[in-house]
Chain A
Amino acid sequence: MRPDPIQRLDTTLFWDACERGEFVAQKCEPCNKLWHPPRPMCPSCHSLEKSTQPLSGKAKVLSWVRQVRPASYGFKESPIVILVELEEGLRMVSNLVGDEPPIIGDAVEVDFEKTMGGKAVPVFKKVAT
């Protein structure tokens, strides 16, 4: 298992969607721009009105690491951490499912994994080529 996400009032829109199995980004209502990580105000038009927009879940790997020492807290074994760029242009830290490290540029797609307290986080798996 893994630790629950640390949730804040301004970021629950992302984590709540994960629990429903939906992969979304914060969307600014007036200007339609997408932002990650979520934030109280749109830095482009300064609106406080926000909703969420479903994302395709397709991404490519920009970087990967595995925290060996100390091992990742809350995990049975330290997972492969990846930095991905989503099809929509946003970047996010996540995990690659499995033990085999990726190659930079690998295509991946979103999935979800449960956490210790029954929440969920987005993770990625390699797209079969």
Chain B
Amino acid sequence: MASASQQACIVGIGQTEFSKASGRSEQQLAMEAILAACQDAGVNPAEIDGMTTFDLDNTDEVDVMRSLGAKEIKYTTRLPQGGAASVATIVHAKNAVESGLCDVFVIWRAMNERSQYRFGQPHHSMSPDAHSSTFMEWCFPFGAQTPASWEALSCGPYLHKYGVTSEDLGRIAVIFRKAAATNPAAWFYGKPITLDDHQNSRWIVEPTLRLLDCCQESDGAVALIITRADRAKDLKQIPVRILGAEYSMLFNHEIISDFYAGDLIRTENSEIVADRLEAAAGIAPKDTDVAMIYDNFTPQILRQLEGFKYCGIGEANDYVKDGHLELDGKTPLSPNGGLMGEGYIHGMNNITEGVRQIRGNAANQIKNVRTAMLASGVAGAIIGA
């Protein structure tokens, strides 16, 4: 474990607006978000010496350096597995700065996934050979061609076993839009939904996912700057420490198309991450003050609540019904409105919200936040003041 002065801290966050038609290139959106994060931190973009993004991101490291004027990059990597990469970026950033390899590390994700392409629709030209898409070969010719269809197929056994209904999922959908309704940056700002709205929304995938069970397709970009505590103390913001960041991928599992291993009920990857996080951070995810849990689709919330040990197996539906995820509950869920309510920048906008909650300047600020849990299935991080 790193000493206090060497501990990795998130010192800058930046984002563009989240829209359905940005009118700019993804490359420019990335630059806008990175520059905003640098200005937030008080670092010169030229000093960036480490970087990571998703393997699905369309920006290029050389181009990013050219715009930033970054003098030298000592470490760069791209992360697989779609949105699961979101919190995994924190694992890499932490290791890169705590090892001394990098001093100023940038994470970004930029997408015009609504105006330029449709992230939620079939992509019949995608290469099945790499880029987190080899599973496509085994789904596409059977008409399971969208993220919603893979998610619903994978969650089916769990929902069936515990008798989770569409109305149960609707309660989760309502929680996200309720928070988003009072977040000016959110797509659902001023537009809360009722359980009836959810129940009347059209089927996307029978018999599980209605329109309001799904995240957005958004245009926008998000960036974060990470450095060590000794450097962070001279910067503009109060540093948000990365108390733990862990990742686990087990044999024969997949991400959204996780069909081939395990009992299709438990999420063993998350369970391992939860245990390692508690050991590293000295606090369990369930005891943190805010739960930023990756919400591509509503069933993911139930499965990650159990995987990250907020409750026992089969108990997540009751955990939601008991009100624990409300903004005044025990473990408030994504006060920005999450990827469903605020926008879907592939999970990264949930990380910036976690940082704002600890800084104390979020739109829906939870009282006395000292720690926040960031979760994206195979990856988790606990950050704190």
A positions within 8 Å CB-CB of B = 2-8, 11, 36-37, 43, 62-70, 72-75, 78-79, 81, 83, 91-95, 101, 104, 115, 121, 123
CA A35 to CA B181, docked complex, whole Å: 48
Across the interface, name the chain B residue whose C-beta is closest to A66: B206
Q: How distant is the Cα of A73 from the Cα of B144 in the complex, in angstroms? A: 9
Q: Are A121 and B260 in contact, with the CB atoms below 8 A? A: no
Q: How far is the CA of A104 from the CA of B140 in the complex (A)?
A: 22
Residues of B within 8 A of A62 (CB): 156-157, 264
The reply to whether the CB of B149 lies closer than 8 angstroms to some CB of chain A is: yes
Is the beta-carbon distance between A81 and B143 smaller than 8 angstroms? Answer: yes
Which B residues are CB-close (under 8 A) to A72? 122, 143-145
Q: How far is the CA of A64 from the CA of B136 in the complex (A)?
A: 17
Q: In angstroms, how far is the closest chain B Cβ from the Cβ of A107? A: 17
Minimum Cβ distance to chain A for residue B117 (Å): 13
Cα–Cα distance between A121 and B61 once the two chains are bound (Å): 41
Q: Judge whether B251 and A79 touch: CB under 8 Å.
A: no
Q: Which 8 A-B pairs have the closest CB atoms?
A: A63-B156, A72-B143, A73-B122, A67-B149, A65-B152, A66-B206, A68-B203, A81-B144
Complex Cα gap A68–B203 (Å): 6
Q: Are B156 and A64 in contact (CB under 8 A)?
A: yes
Give the nearest-CB partner of A70 in chain B.
Answer: B121
Interface centre among A67, A69, A78, A94 (most CB of B within 10 A): A67
Residue among A5, A7, A74, A93 making CB contact with B153, cutoff 8 Å: A93
The answer to whether A83 and B153 touch across the interface, beta carbons within 8 angstroms, is yes
Given A64-B207, A68-B205, 6 further pairs, Cβ under 8 A: A5-B141, A6-B140, A65-B156, A65-B206, A67-B205, A69-B204
Per-residue contact bits, chain B 115-132, to A (CB 8 Å; 1 contact, 0 not): 000000110100011000
A67 to B148, CA, bound (A): 8
Closest to B205 in A: A65
CA distance A73 to B260 in the complex (A): 24
Chain B neighbourhood of A104, CB < 8 A: 156-157, 160
The yes or no answer to B27 lying at the interface (CB within 8 A) is no
Alpha-carbon distance between A94 and B141 when the two chains are bound, in angstroms:
9
B129 nearest CB neighbor, chain A only: A8
- Residue on A nearest B202 in the bound complex, by CB: A69
- Measured between C-beta atoms, what is the minimum distance from A42 to chain B in Å? 13
Q: By the criterion CB–CB under 8 Å, are A93 and B144 in contact?
A: yes
Partner of A93, one of B121, B142, B206, B252: B142
Given A62-B157, A65-B152, A70-B121, A5–B143 Cβ distance below 8 Å?
A: no
Q: A65-B205, A104-B156 are known contacts. Are A70 and B146 too (CB-CB below 8 A)? A: yes
B82-111 contacts to A (CB < 8 Å): none
Residue B189 at the chain A interface, CB threshold 8 Å: no
Query: How many angstroms between the C-alpha atoms of A11 and B136 in the bound complex?
Result: 13
* Smallest Cβ-Cβ distance to A103: which chain B residue: B160
Q: Which residues of A contact B211 (CB under 8 A)?
A: 69
The answer to whether A65 touches B128 (Cβ under 8 A) is no
Q: What residues of chain B lie closer than 8 Å to A5, measured between beta carbons?
A: 137, 140-141
Asked if residues B142 and A79 are in contact (CB atoms below 8 Å), the reply is yes
B156 / chain A contacts, CB cutoff of 8 Å:
62-65, 83, 104
